[in-house]
Chains A and B, each alone.
Chain A
Amino acid sequence: MNSLVLLNGSPRGERSNSMKMLKRVAEGWVRGEGAQPEVLHLVRRAQFQRAVEAFAGADVVVLLGMPLYTDAMPALVNAYIEALAPRVEAIRAGGANPTLAFLVQGGFPEAAHSRPLERYLAKLAVRLGSPYAGTIVRGGGESLQSMPEQANRKLWARLNTLGEQLARDGRFGAAELRAVAGTEQFSPSAVVLASLACRIPLVQFYWNGMLKKNGAWERRFAAPYGPAFEK
Chain B
Amino acid sequence: MRITILNGEPDAALPFHAYLETLTNRLLALGHTATKLDLATLDLKGCTGCFGCWVRTPGECSKCDDSATVCRAVLGADLLLLASPMTMGFTTALLKRAADQMIPLLHPYFVVEGGEIHHRARYAHYPVFALLLGAGPDSDAEDVEITRTMWGRMARDLKSRLAWSTVAERNPEEVADELARVA
Contact = CB atoms under 8 A, between A and B. Distances in A.
Interface of A: 10-12, 16, 43, 67, 69-76, 78-79, 81-82, 84-85, 88, 108-110, 112-113, 116-117, 119-120, 123-124, 127, 185-186, 188, 191, 194-195, 198, 203-204, 207, 210-211, 213-214, 216, 219-230
13 contacts: A12-B48, A72-B150, A75-B46, A75-B97, A78-B97, A113-B116, A120-B146, A124-B89, A185-B116, A198-B110, A225-B72, A226-B124, A227-B125
Q: Which 10 A-B pairs have the closest CB atoms?
A: A71-B153, A79-B93, A78-B93, A210-B55, A75-B97, A229-B121, A75-B96, A225-B75, A222-B59, A11-B48
Contacts of A230: 124
A170 B89 CA distance: 25
A110 B59 contact: no
B83 to A, nearest CB: 16
Given A11-B48, A117-B150, A73 B71 contact: no
B111 A198 contact: yes
Contact of A226 (B58, B60, B92, B123): B123
B117 A109 contact: yes
Contacts of A226: 75-76, 123-125
A25 B51 CA distance: 27
Interface string B85-122: 00111101110110110110101111110011110111
B154 interface: yes
A204 B111 CA distance: 10
B47 interface: yes
Nearest to A117: B150
Interface residues of B, number: 59
Contact of B92 (A70, A78, A223): A78
Interface of B: 46-49, 51, 54-60, 71-72, 75-76, 87-90, 92-94, 96-97, 99-100, 102-103, 105, 107-112, 115-118, 120-125, 138, 142-143, 146-147, 149-151, 153-154, 156-158
B34 to A, nearest CB: 19
A12 B118 CA distance: 22
Contacts, number: 173
B101 to A, nearest CB: 9
Contacts of B76: 225-226
B125 to A, nearest CB: 7
B176 to A, nearest CB: 26
A194 B138 CA distance: 43
Contacts of B156: 71
Contacts of A12: 48-49
Contacts of B59: 219, 222-225
Contacts of A88: 88, 138
Nearest to A224: B59
B96 A72 contact: yes
B117 A194 contact: yes
Nearest to A230: B124
A125 B119 CA distance: 32
Contact of A78 (B55, B96, B138): B96
Contacts of B107: 220-221, 229
Given A82-B87, A194-B117, A211-B58, A229 B109 contact: no
A118 B49 CA distance: 21
Contacts of A85: 87-88
Given A12-B48, A123-B89, A211-B58, A225 B109 contact: no
A229 B122 contact: yes
Contacts of A228: 122-124
Nearest to A67: B49
A10 B73 CA distance: 27
Given A74-B47, A81-B88, A228-B123, A207 B118 contact: no
